[in-house]
Structure 1
């Protein structure tokens, strides 16, 4: 007697997807076109970053593993991690580097909150419909247009020691001749404060314009509703203004942080020509440049820049995580 084998069940048939409607095809085509347009428009900027930032940084990483002397007839020799070891163990190198890093952190810790807060105050002050308001906005933005070399020269005249300095002359006149000839740039206690004031004066206008653009994007109906609810100025600022520009404020804080770690021009100019105290205002970028071109040690300077780059990236990521806007994942 033959046994009947169970029949194998046929695999389920896959249902065909419904054909795309013309509307869906149009949306997909539009998305592809926008994606290609975005890539084409960003190509010059990305190419510039690769050519002027990416490639030089990769070359600096390579140089940090070699003993390269500027102007030396000897061929570069492989040094391994020796430059990095000396940077943290050699007292002649680690001392100035750590002091420069501490100066950078001090500069950023003061400039970022003060400059961001001052820029926000100026943006709120200039976000009004008044006659000639454009003139006032241009006046506050004007220092940003000035090159840092010119700004450093102007502040050198203001903070010069003796009665030649404009600040000392003004204080001497106000105090009826009782003010001494203080050396604002040469004294270690006020040298970094002088650089901070100079930098805030020069850069606050740029952050002000960004925050002003953010303020103008807040709908006026929100302020009208707040006034109908009898909200005070402080309550309007806290519950309408700040939430409305939170993303812009985060961007400004991050941008100011990156720029504050890049401080170099004003320090270099004032140290070389203005009598600025070098140890009190030495920054990591200043340390790298002087190591490369004064000591002719390109390999050690490259190691300094690589370590500093990693430190700045780590701090930026931490700051980005802490102050992430609510509308981001």
Structure 2
């Protein structure tokens, strides 16, 4: 038997071990190049995050412990926790905090429910569903400042369209002063906000609905499930992750309320501070009263509060996934 026959590998045998280290080195090099490329692509985003988020927050934390004032010749001095003591004993701050919380408690469930209902509606096989999707989404591309001005005109007590329709439907019995009454000012802000923002959540829900397999609905119909049972046992479980995301985003947007309360009432935050929010309180403290240190303390407290709400919502979402 010749040496040539002995050197041939058996049919189906693995390659000689000598080739494996070279292949591992090749894979390791490709992985290293991939990590370097990923790092290079993430540098611009990380730089923007540092410049526009991390650095301003650190600056606000530092300024909140000083007596920094806007355009003041007085030297900046360390004041400790004095700014935090002032805001926590300020009745106007707590009024702003309460208005923000009330607005979020109303808007988050209402806007989420309306967006989900619209998404389910336009997800059906309708003849003009593209038209309806466009109409429902159109307010979202409208700048909130413009939407506030439009709704301010619509909500005028005497010549506004809203009161005209309500007066016709109720034979003149319901004629609220939307932006001049402490009882109706916040509902007017809520109405404007839901109208302008519901289209964004609708599009997110629509994407989630289209990701649910049609076979699940077919199986539910075979089992005799009606429309409500399909929505409860197929649609809602399939939209759980989307629902958690929408609630988080809507809550953050709700606590960021500013444009409506600044432009719609006759005076920002009016009447009698019934629509004053923490963002408006921050702006007026820093730029009207020129107390940059105290405004920075409000910004820090506001940021930590919104962060805590977001983390609690994410935690509750994780616990629900673990149970299921």
With normalisation by structure 2, the TM-score equals 0.86
Choose from 96, 100, 125 the match for 1:100.
96
Check whether the contact 1:151–1:202 (CA below 8 A) recurs between aligned residues: yes
Does 1:243 find its partner at 2:232?
Answer: no
Check whether the contact 1:185–1:274 (CA below 8 A) recurs between aligned residues: no
Does 1:167 find its partner at 2:162?
Answer: yes
Give distance in 2, aligned partners of 1:30 and 1:218: 36
Structure 1 position 46, deviation (Å): 3.1
Deviations 1:227-279 (A, max 9, x none): 11111112211221111111111111111111111111111112356894251
Give the direction of change, closer, same or farther, for the CA distance of 1:34–1:190 in structure 2 (3 Å limit).
Answer: farther
Give distance in 2, aligned partners of 1:128 and 1:51: 44
Give the direction of change, closer, same or farther, for the CA distance of 1:241–1:275 in structure 2 (3 Å limit).
Answer: closer
Give distance in 2, aligned partners of 1:147 and 1:230: 46
Give the direction of change, closer, same or farther, for the CA distance of 1:308–1:238 in structure 2 (3 Å limit).
Answer: same
Structure 1 position 327, deviation (Å): 6.7
Does 1:265 find its partner at 2:276?
Answer: no
Does 1:59 find its partner at 2:59?
Answer: yes
Deviations 1:82-110 (A, max 9, x none): 10112223xxxx20111111111111111
The equivalences for 1:10-49 within 5 A come to 35-49=35-49
Structure 2: segments with no counterpart, 5+ residues: 1-17
Structure 1 position 42, deviation (Å): 4.0
Partner of 1:326: 321
Partner of 1:198: 192
Give the direction of change, closer, same or farther, for the CA distance of 1:244–1:32 in structure 2 (3 Å limit).
Answer: farther
Check whether the contact 2:155–2:162 (CA below 8 A) recurs between aligned residues: yes
Instruction: State the aligned residue count.
Output: 307
Give distance in 2, aligned partners of 1:271 and 1:182: 14
The equivalences for 1:100-179 within 5 A come to 100-161=96-157, 163-176=158-171, 178-179=172-173
Give distance in 2, aligned partners of 1:271 and 1:69: 28
Structure 1 position 202, deviation (Å): 0.6
Give distance in 1, aligned partners of 2:32 and 2:124: 41
Structure 1 position 130, deviation (Å): 3.1
Structure 1 position 131, deviation (Å): 3.2
Deviations 1:6-34 (A, max 9, x none): xxxxxxxxxxxx99688877776666565
Give distance in 1, aligned partners of 2:234 and 2:298: 44
Q: Tell me the secondary structure at the aligned position of residue 323 of structure 1.
A: helix
Give distance in 2, aligned partners of 1:288 and 1:88: 14
Give the direction of change, closer, same or farther, for the CA distance of 1:159–1:36 in structure 2 (3 Å limit).
Answer: farther
Check whether the contact 1:83–1:303 (CA below 8 A) recurs between aligned residues: yes
The equivalences for 1:183-262 within 5 A come to 183-262=177-256
Choose from 277, 290, 295 the match for 1:296.
290
Partner of 1:10: none
Give distance in 1, aligned partners of 2:268 and 2:78: 39
Structure 1: segments with no counterpart, 5+ residues: 1-17
Check whether the contact 2:270–2:276 (CA below 8 A) recurs between aligned residues: no
Check whether the contact 1:271–1:278 (CA below 8 A) recurs between aligned residues: no
Give distance in 2, aligned partners of 1:218 and 1:36: 36
Check whether the contact 2:176–2:184 (CA below 8 A) recurs between aligned residues: no
Q: Tell me the secondary structure at the aligned position of residue 271 of structure 1.
A: coil
Give distance in 1, aligned partners of 2:60 and 2:295: 9
Give the direction of change, closer, same or farther, for the CA distance of 1:101–1:275 in structure 2 (3 Å limit).
Answer: closer
